[in-house]
Amino acid sequence: MDHSFLTQAFVFLAAAVISVLVAQRIGLGSVLGYLVAGALIGPYGLGFVGDPEGVMHAAELGVVIMLFLIGLELEPALLWRMRTAILGLGAAQVLVTGLLFAFVSLRVGIDWRVGLAVGFILSLSSTAIVLQSLREKGLASTDFGRASFAVLLFQDIAVIPMLALFPLLATRAVAESHAGPLSHLPAWAQTLAVAGAIAGVVLVGRVLTRPLFRWIARMHLNEIFTACALALVAGVALLMQSVGLSPALGAFLAGVVLADSEYRHELQSDIEPFRALLLGMFFISVGAGIDFPLVAERPALIAGLVVSLITLKAAALYAVARAFRRPRPEAVLIALALAQGGEFAFVLFGFAEMNGIVPRSVASPLIAAVALSMALTPLLLVLGERVATWLSDSEAREAPTHFPLTETPHAVIAGFGRFGQIVHRVLRASGYSTSILEHSADQVDAVRAFGNKANYGDASRVDLLRAAGAQEAKLLVVAVDDPDKALEIAEIGRRHFPHLKILARAFDRGHVYELMKRNVDAIERETFEGALRLGTAALRALGWRAHQAERAAGLFRRHDERNVRAMFEHWGQGDSAYRSAVNARRALVEDMLARDLATHEVTAPDAAWDTASLDEEVERRARGV
């Protein structure tokens, strides 16, 4: 096979495109696609790639860039708020998982020192795979996403002491240590070098980068800006590596330092494509690195290792997450998302082997098991989501059905997010009492911190509505953020509490009709008024007088509301009837608008104050016509 650069590039990119498209289509996410592509073109597959390790080194820059970008999104203040999660959840996870694996190794007759090293190596998860998958699924900024990130961050930090402490676990003497280029220095000097490097990154980031970026930006050389950003990331990674720190950690640090700089967004958008592609290459090289002959030779052993790695790690993660009072669905997600081995395992196993800590016979099957466990991550995440949904549903079923109501509520508000809170405040400010049902435990805790009393529960349950005071209340406000749930609540409210006036938040036209069908008394599309206000602001920005713009918006509202009512008649008479009615109506409205525009001065909003026809008549009379 010809291994020229162009061939390699073509093979990598083509394999990535095909596999990722297929994986996405099946709904498994890009990571699995890349891994499968790697396995296919790797030395044990079709053999298109000669040197997966070489590729992996190049592709590690992808991981570094990813951590840099994550750092960019994390301002120091946010990081500070996460300190308990990082130092608590993260540290506990590494310790508990590490010791658990060590204990198991001991039980199967492996030397305790080897076991300890193996245990801590396996306690690390794959930052690259997990974060990429979370991002793709849009889970990165959920509680679960943040907790996972905290754990991964601590693991990245934990690599440093591992590298420092592993030589102490050596079971046989080795001629030369490979701990890092600084390992010949005394301990105090090494510490000093590490501290100096970190201080250097912070200082350079704070003081030098801004003038540099400003200078480059002023020259309008886009590619130089990108090159400079990449050089910065690579340089920091290099510096960190030279003092024995994880390059990814260094890049993360640099990112955090630059997070509040005005070039943050430009840096993000410039580097993002490199991250995606290089990370893809990294996953491909992980896939290519899976030692299939070894797997084929000892399938039972490898399968056993993969299964025990995942189950033990998931169990430890679940226990730790629960100990830190994470709700059960979240704990399950954390446990399954982080149950794989990480890319650092490849580095650390190599290091441990070289230092005579872990013999090759132990390391090789473990490396294969780690790679396979990484490949299983997307599937585990899907499983995790299923279990978490099932758990939160069953938890909702077990929720308490008696709330301590201090007053008889005038209104029951279902859903206490952005929408419900405003409704609640309007009612409260006008002297009415409300009773709130919210289905997210986190949201309940969050609003309680601000002195609002929300009760946890699913408002589509009759007993919970009754417990919330629906029998005594006059109104039911449906403000949940799930359209189907809203319909369900409206229906159940109508059926079981016919005296209630039901007011609902709608999402789009179709949802409005569905709510109308359920005889909801008042319906408000969640984005309509806001968009209308912005439209009014746009007219004012175009030079309209405030009153004129206000009336234009008012007229538009009236037209649109009538439209919705008129179209409701056609809705439900089959799709084609509805579509043709909508089209006819649209033509009518457009015609009306066009006429308004044509007679620009006499636009509907100010027709009443238009005196053109009167002036004309007066003039004609004056001329005696």
Instruction: Provide the binding-site residues for other proteins, judged by CB under 8 A.
Output: 551, 554-555, 558, 607-609, 611, 613-614, 617
Letter string b/e over residues 185-214, b meaning 16 or more CB atoms within 10 A of that residue's CB: eeeeebeebbeebbeebeebbeeebeeebe
Q: How far is the CB of 462 from other proteins (least distance, A)?
A: 35
DSSP collapsed to 3 states, 187-234 = HHHHHHHHHHHHHHHHHHHHHHHHHHHHHHHHHCCHHHHHHHHHHHHH
**Which one, 149 or 544, has the nearer CB to other proteins?**
544
Tokens 């990571």 map to which residue?
A: 31
Tokens 């690599």 map to which residue?
A: 159
**Which one, 303 or 618, has the nearer CB to other proteins?**
618
**Which one, 386 or 558, has the nearer CB to other proteins?**
558
Q: How far is the CB of 611 from other proteins (least distance, A)?
A: 7
Q: How far is the CB of 609 from other proteins (least distance, A)?
A: 7
- Burial class (CB within 10 angstroms; exposed 0-12, middle 13-18, buried 19+) of 368: buried
Reference 478, options 470, 487, 469; nearest CA is 487
Q: How far is the CB of 567 from other proteins (least distance, A)?
A: 20
Q: How far is the CB of 533 from other proteins (least distance, A)?
A: 13
**Which one, 600 or 621, has the nearer CB to other proteins?**
621
H-run or E-run covering 353:
helix 343-354
Give me the half-sphere count of Cα atoms (radius 13 Å) on the Cβ side of residue 221. Answer: 11
**Which one, 51 or 615, has the nearer CB to other proteins?**
615
Tokens 């912070």 map to which residue?
A: 202
Distance between CA 164 and CA 160 in Å, rounded?
6
**Which one, 323 or 607, has the nearer CB to other proteins?**
607
| Token duo for residue 398 | 């077990």
Sheet of 434-438: strand order equals 454-456, 434-438, 411-414, 475-478, 501-506, 522-525
**Which one, 168 or 614, has the nearer CB to other proteins?**
614
570 touches 549 (CB < 8 A): no
Q: How far is the CB of 486 from other proteins (least distance, A)?
A: 26
One DSSP character per residue, 33-67 reads: HHHHHHHHHSTTTT---S-HHHHHHHHHHHHHHHH
Q: Which residue type occupies 475? A: L
Q: How far is the CB of 570 from other proteins (least distance, A)?
A: 23
Determine how many CB atoms are found less than 10 A away from the CB of residue 279.
25
**Which one, 75 or 550, has the nearer CB to other proteins?**
550
Q: How far is the CB of 573 from other proteins (least distance, A)?
A: 27
Q: How far is the CB of 554 from other proteins (least distance, A)?
A: 4
